[in-house]
Chains A and B, each alone.
Chain A
Amino acid sequence: MSNAIHLHYEVSGEDFTRAGEASGAVKKRLKSLGFNSDAIRRVAIAMYEAEINMVIHADGGYCDVDIYPDRIEILLADHGPGIADVDKAMQEGFSTAPDNVRNLGFGAGMGLPNIKKYTDEMRIETTIGVGTNLYLTVKVA
């Protein structure tokens, strides 16, 4: 485990325009480390959707990224309201996002389904009123 590269990012909940900063930074780092473009894009998209979710629903949080030669592990943690029904949240089209988020191009209920689509492993730990931890793994082919 000691050979992992560890990255940490705070995600601000106040500024929607900055959502994606962490994902962009990770994408850049993976590129400089020479990972293949498919793996980089899957990490970037999954992490970006999760970052957007954090800003929309949870007033921000943080991301921890561990980069191994054969996989990338990501934890996205927030102290938001938690997800009441994870199965429902996983359905395409189900959203609890407010209307103003839809005007920004998100909130169509595609976030978690997209994240699942692009990752090899996805695990959600959520407690109402406490927050959500989203664990993602992307394997490098």
Chain B
Amino acid sequence: MIVKDIINILEGDVICEGDLNQEIKTACGSDMMSDVLAFVKDQSVLLTGLVNPQVVRTAEMMDMACIVFVRGKDPDQSIITLAESRGITLMKTRYRMFTACGLLYTNGLSGGTKV
């Protein structure tokens, strides 16, 4: 799956564009950034309902290519500017967390771990 596929599956609105052809192998859905930081997998996407600059910084530390804000949440300009400078794609989807994760999972994206 690539970032473009995630946009299609989640009917996402792209807020800022990184590499849309970047391959995505795993996903992580959480509002708790320390839980995200406890999970290390390559080429990942972060789904979150949390909207603050630390979401982008967390993704940066984890080498994540893409952040999806669920339930239609809009990041402010400081978040967008930070993501742009890090080359991270931001999008929002109208789906709620559970549904957004489920849609990606049923389309073949895994959590990268069985537990």
Contact = CB atoms under 8 A, between A and B. Distances in A.
A20 B33 CA distance: 13
A96 to B, nearest CB: 14
A117 B38 CA distance: 8
Interface of A: 16-17, 19-20, 23-24, 27, 37, 41, 44-45, 48-49, 52, 104-106, 108, 110-111, 113-114, 117
Contacts of B31: 105
Contacts, number: 69
A108 B54 contact: no
B101 interface: no
Contacts of B61: 20, 23-24, 27, 41, 44-45, 48
| Interface size classification for chain B | 20 to 34
Contact of A105 (B33, B38, B40): B33
A117 to B, nearest CB: 7
A24 B61 CA distance: 7
B62 interface: yes
Per DSSP, chain B at the interface is helix
A104 B52 contact: yes
A45 B35 CA distance: 12
Contacts of B55: 105
B2 interface: no
A106 B54 CA distance: 9
7 contacts: A17-B52, A19-B54, A19-B57, A24-B60, A41-B62, A45-B40, A110-B38
